[in-house]
């Protein structure tokens, strides 16, 4: 099974868990009438959590073994790449926020920020995120889950 398929199955399991929880919540409006049905749902819930755990472990093991070629000379594993991507996205939000503030203030005042340089920085971060995301997605689509 490909990693992407395992992740899809994991999402399906989570959705199924949420559906069962909703069913249990709806059935608890009557104390005795649905006791057997609730017990059956609880059993299904336990089974789904076991599957969820198995898929999660398999997915994380696989991620730790995937190595991405970043630029021909640098390589990092997928887990590290996901951390880097998260930080890059946080950096983008921060720099975009600063750019928005600077843009707003530049309409009424002279500001001590090089707007052109800041815009270039934001554009480069966006490009880096897009590139890393593409490499991550390619790796996830092509790798067999452990």
Q: What is the pLDDT of residues 69-98, one digit of tens each?
A: 888 888 999 999 999 999 999 999 999 999
Q: Which of 42, 65, 88 is the last residue of a domain?
A: 65
| Total domains in the fold of the chain | 2
Q: Are residues 131 and 72 in the same domain?
A: yes
Q: Which of 26, 49, 65 is the last residue of a domain?
A: 65
- Residues 20-60 have pLDDT tens digits of 999 988 888 766 677 888 899 999 999 999 999 999 999 98
Over residues 12-16, the mean pLDDT reads 96
CA dihedral 83, 88, 94, 100 (to 10 degrees): -150
Q: Are residues 134 and 80 in the same domain?
A: yes
pLDDT of residue 27: 84
pLDDT of residue 31: 66
Q: Are residues 61 and 116 in the same domain?
A: no
Distances (CA, A) of 106 to 30, 49, 92, 96, 99: 63, 54, 20, 15, 10
Q: Which of 19, 37, 65 is the last residue of a domain?
A: 65
**Structural domain of residue 59, as residue ranges?**
3-65
Q: Are residues 72 and 44 in the same domain?
A: no
């Amino acid at each position: 099974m490909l990693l992407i398929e395992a992740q899809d199955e994991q999402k399906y399991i989570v959705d199924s868990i949420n559906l069962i929880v909703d069913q249990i919540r709806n059935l608890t409006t009557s104390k005795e009438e649905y006791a057997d049905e609730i017990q059956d749902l609880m059993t299904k819930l336990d089974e789904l959590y076991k599957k969820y755990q198995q898929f999660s472990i398999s997915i994380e093991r696989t991620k730790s073994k995937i190595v991405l070629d970043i630029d021909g000379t640098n390589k990092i594993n997928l887990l590290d790449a996901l951390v880097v991507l998260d930080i890059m996205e946080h950096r983008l939000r921060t720099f975009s926020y600063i750019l928005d503030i600077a843009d707003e203030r530049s309409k009424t005042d002279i500001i001590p920020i090089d707007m052109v340089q800041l815009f270039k920085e934001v554009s480069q971060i966006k490009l880096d995120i897009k590139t890393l995301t593409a490499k991550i997605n390619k790796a996830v689509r092509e790798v067999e889950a452990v």
